[in-house]
Amino acid sequence: MGKAKALVDTDVVSFFFNDSQLSIPYRQYLRKRALCISFMTRAEIEQGMRLDNWGEKKRGEMESFLATKFAVIHTNDAICLKWAEITSLRGRPVSPADAWIAATAIVYKVPLITHNRKHFEGIAGLKVISEGKYLIFAQIERQFIIGECGFDCRRQGMSPIECNLLNMP
């Protein structure tokens, strides 16, 4: 049996490339998985490098990082049909870029690992893995989770979700 697969969103790719603190909660999901990115994520990364005027060295580092960590899934008829379905639904609009990424995950039947959970809410058939609701702060000898509400949830003896529900304005 092969490795489980996952599609990684642009934000999480960026967290890992930049060795950001925001990558910490995603490590558990990326271990022992065959990692893929959508052609759309590849395009967004290229756009970001161009807009930020990355030099040859940094661009080379990104290219190497992508080539060694991720397989790129290119578009096909099934992805195009799913994209059209997602973008044609009335209600909460989904950006074209996010619709391409969601369509890719749905067609390939893999979970999407993203920090932008809200971008993908309500898309039928999409499994989202996200730690995007919480901010993680490392202290010298311990870590604690701060909910969106700004309280130290564990110190209050609550999960971050319970804490947010009770303390959000």
**Confidence at residue 152, expressed as pLDDT on a 0 to 100 scale:** 47
User: DSSP letters of 93-122?
Assistant: ---HHHHHHHHHHHHHT--EE-S-GGGGTT
Question: Given this model, what pLDDT does residue 32 score?
Answer: 84
Polymer length in residues for the chain: 169
CATH code of the domain occupying 4-129: 3.40.50.1010
Residue numbers of the chain with a pLDDT score lower than 50: 1, 134-156, 158-169
How is the chain split into domains, by residue range?
A: 4-129, 135-167
pLDDT at 141: 27
| Max CA separation in the chain (angstroms) | 51
